[in-house]
Chain A
């Protein structure tokens, strides 16, 4: 009699303790889920702020200023800015860099803003080889930062 009563009592107590344990586990897990969502919110906010900062630092306007400084000769040209050209073109482009100043290249290239030669309707405007070479040369610094080295679309020999 006593054994039966004791067993029943122990069973009830054990079941209750088990229930309490499960409930506590449940609460702990739910709290952890809440914490994870909170962390997610914090990380999303952090991501937004870092992304904003990176985009501010890499804003096109800032890069434009850098590029224009480079073109005006205030800062040296970026090394490897001829990465996108075939080897022969890159070599000639390097030579072109050495021979002509940045200012001369600007006035000869496709950034022509209406020089007297361009305005003369009687002049022959068919591009000669040097013009084409300059055109290619001009393209490089503009695109250097836009399509950085490593972009598979811009690897040498790729189509």
Chain B
């Protein structure tokens, strides 16, 4: 009896324990179901948030190189110091030590830290040097009180060379001026993302790299500039500034067939390696951001247009009235008293009266067509910010004065780049080409065996040259270059631009400037210029030098001030580019 009741009791216990175990298992399974099924996404996200941190990674800005691959701008990583003012024990001694380490003013630093004492983040100095980093670390602050953050630092190894073309990147990394601004869409790249995996203590145990999330950037943006030719231009301008003390000057070197700008220099200038002392008037790139009356350098375009329209003939003679010519109510003068001059001599002697008579043949409509054809009155379209369009009044505002003024390069204002672009059209058989500063980019997808190929992402950049329109026929353009403009140098006003061995063509320009006080043309303020190129039969290089308001010296003529500098740039460029002398060949052929 006792054993039966004991067996019954054991069965009850077994049943109870079994039920309990099954119940617990059901609860566990149910919880598992809830965790793994019902709350799976929510919990997974929660875990991910705890383990993974996504940080944005800036793309390193692309380098800028010249046409030979020489470095003009690059980027390195620099460290910026920040502090947590709430964690700092701000004492005068501490501020003095910190200011001393960073070479900054201790009073202003102390004011800033005390002013932001309730903040948790404050920049102390951005992009500090390695020595400054070491000096700060020796102060032995608590880690929670300060930190360094990596930032990109733009470096320009060539100093002041081509500073106006390059521009710079400001403290926030934004392009300011030059190609840094205009080509920023190619230079800055696209930021990426990286995922950091942390352990339970918050330490980073893994950096997860996803190729699709990495920053996208081009390796380099290649300009058409040639650093050596640029240096020729910079040196020539320095000599002009030393000798003539102008308020400004600029030089442009261009390859007429492609429209490639080989050099573009401007004075006053600044050094990209020291931006702390930049004169306020040095920011402007005079090659594209000043306008001036071109004066006589404009005359070849009018002659070309007149020949193109058959209103004059190449061998025609013009009576230059012995230096005085009444044109309506206006009395025109030449610098010298000329009698009858051929079309060639009108340009060689730079006769204003001869040009006025050609202007009378073309009339205002024809003169206006010529200016429009050669691209004046609108920006050239170069990839540089701040390019002006020049000043060209509407045709309906032109009058009888215009008929005499326009042919001699007055009553309109051009930028130096417009003028050399128009001259390139004449040197290029009459085809007006958009000047180009961007040669291409080296990108991730480009063929590494062929450096500096244009990216497949933007095939339009691969176009070698953009021909805007034909201006005059190639015969007319060739004649203007090879006859009158070559004789300007060989026996005319541009004789200081002769280069032994080369047939140089050119044109001087000396324009009076408006006196802001009197509102009329000044007798003392001039803009002297000279444009030249070589070899005449197949122009490879053309050079323009513009000197604004030369102050010292007794002369203001473009043939005296600008021509020697332009010739020096041209001769050095021809040799550097290995353009063979052409006059030896011609002499031998005879």
Q: Which residues of A contact B (CB under 8 A)?
A: 27, 30-31, 33-34, 37-38, 44-45, 48-49, 51-52, 55-56, 59-61, 64, 110-114, 118-119, 121, 125-127, 131-132, 135, 138-139, 142-143, 146
Contact = CB atoms under 8 A, between A and B. Distances in A.
A59 B157 contact: yes
A156 to B, nearest CB: 15
Given A27-B206, A60-B70, A60-B227, A125 B157 contact: no
Given A27-B206, A118-B495, A132-B501, A51 B564 contact: no
Interface residues of B, number: 43
Interface in B532-573: 563-564, 567-568, 571-572
Interface stretch (B72-80, B168-176, B438-446): B72-80
Contacts of A118: 495-496, 498
A110 B499 contact: yes
Among all A-B residue pairs, the 4 with the closest Cβ atoms? A55-B71, A114-B496, A55-B157, A34-B207
Nearest to A109: B500
14 contacts: A34-B208, A44-B60, A49-B76, A52-B71, A52-B74, A52-B76, A64-B235, A111-B571, A112-B571, A125-B490, A127-B581, A132-B584, A142-B572, A142-B576
Contacts of B231: 60-61, 64
A127 B588 CA distance: 11
Nearest to A84: B578
Interface of B: 60, 70-71, 74-77, 155, 157-159, 161, 205-209, 227-228, 230-231, 235, 490-491, 495-496, 498-501, 563-564, 567-568, 571-572, 574-576, 581, 583-584, 587
Nearest to B570: A110
Contacts of A142: 572, 575-576
Nearest to A38: B207
Contact of A135 (B155, B227, B581): B581
Nearest to A135: B501
Contact of A126 (B155, B157, B587): B587
A60 to B, nearest CB: 5
Majority-rule SS of A interface residues: helix
A138 B502 CA distance: 15
Nearest to B586: A126
Nearest to A121: B491
A119 B559 CA distance: 11
A21 B377 CA distance: 75
Contact of B71 (A30, A34, A51, A127): A51
A44 B222 CA distance: 20
Nearest to A138: B575
Contact of B205 (A31, A61, A146): A31
Contacts, number: 111
A49 B78 CA distance: 11
A125 B498 contact: yes
Given A44-B60, A112-B571, A113-B568, 14 more contacts: A48-B74, A49-B76, A51-B74, A55-B157, A60-B70, A60-B161, A110-B500, A110-B575, A112-B500, A118-B496, A127-B500, A131-B501, A135-B501, A143-B576
Nearest to A112: B500
A111 B501 contact: no
Nearest to B160: A61
Given A114-B564, A132-B584, A61 B161 contact: yes
Contacts of B205: 27, 31
A66 to B, nearest CB: 12
Contact of B209 (A37, A64, A112, A126): A37
A29 B14 CA distance: 52
A59 B567 CA distance: 24
Nearest to A37: B209
Contacts of A121: 490-491, 495
Nearest to A35: B207
A52 B228 contact: no
Contacts of B500: 110, 112, 125, 127, 131, 135
Contacts of B228: 60, 146
Contacts of B159: 59, 61
A120 to B, nearest CB: 8
A18 to B, nearest CB: 22
Contact of B70 (A55, A111, A113): A55
Given A48-B75, A112-B500, A34 B206 contact: yes
Contact of A127 (B161, B495, B501, B564): B501
Nearest to A53: B157
Nearest to B501: A127
Given A114-B567, A118-B496, A146-B576, A59 B209 contact: no
Of A30, A49, A52, A132, most buried by chain B (CB within 10 Å of CB) is: A52
Nearest to B70: A55
A132 B159 CA distance: 36
Nearest to B239: A113
Contacts of B587: 126-127
Contacts of B77: 45, 48
B128 to A, nearest CB: 16
Contacts of A37: 207, 209
A119 B496 CA distance: 6
